[in-house]
Amino acid sequence: MSQIDISNIDYQDLIEYIDTNIYDFKNFDLSIYFKSDYSQSKIIRSLMLYILDKNNVTVPWKGRFSLISDELVNNSIEYWSMPLDKNIFILSFKTESNTSNINIEVHDTWKWAYAKKSYEMEEIRNQKEAEGFDWYLWKRWRWLFQLIKNIVDEIYFKDKEWGGLIVWINKKLELI
């Protein structure tokens, strides 16, 4: 797995690293360490779009994956980490024939005063799904679950061994 800490680099440096270290954009694992202060959300979103372009993923899926990566990264910053902690964004593409199995995984530090454990996130998920998503989208975590329910195949929550929450999504996508 390729790993890079983007805490002190710009987008162009990240793209140069990606182009140098990923040899097959249809089959790779990439781990990105980022500061939990929103300054790098745009870099991760732009990287996501760059990699989707390399895989010939088109609209509307480019926009959907941009939303997914934004939501997962922003939630890890807003709800589960303290400013300037380092979170992890893991992107994985595995392609067979014309189907790509895309995984996005975000690890936070779980230092926020109201951070949730995985079982609590599952309870919130079940509650939000029972309430439905047709009204009032501004309750905490509702957008995460609406987004995930309507776009991806799976969402998974896991507690990290030494503290922190892992949120993982999976989507199988037919490529052109």
Q: What is the CATH number of the domain that holds 84?
A: 3.30.565.10
Residue 96 tokens, joined: 């067979």
The letter for the amino acid at 118 is S
- What's the CA gap between 107 and 109, in Å, rounded? 7
Residue numbers of the domain that contains 51: 2-174
What is the number of structural domains in the chain? 1
Q: Residue 140 above 70 pLDDT?
A: no
In this prediction the pTM is 0.89
Each residue's pLDDT tens digit, 32-67: 999 988 888 999 999 999 999 999 888 889 998 988
Decide if 30 contacts 92 (C-beta within 8 A): yes
| pLDDT value of position 122 | 85
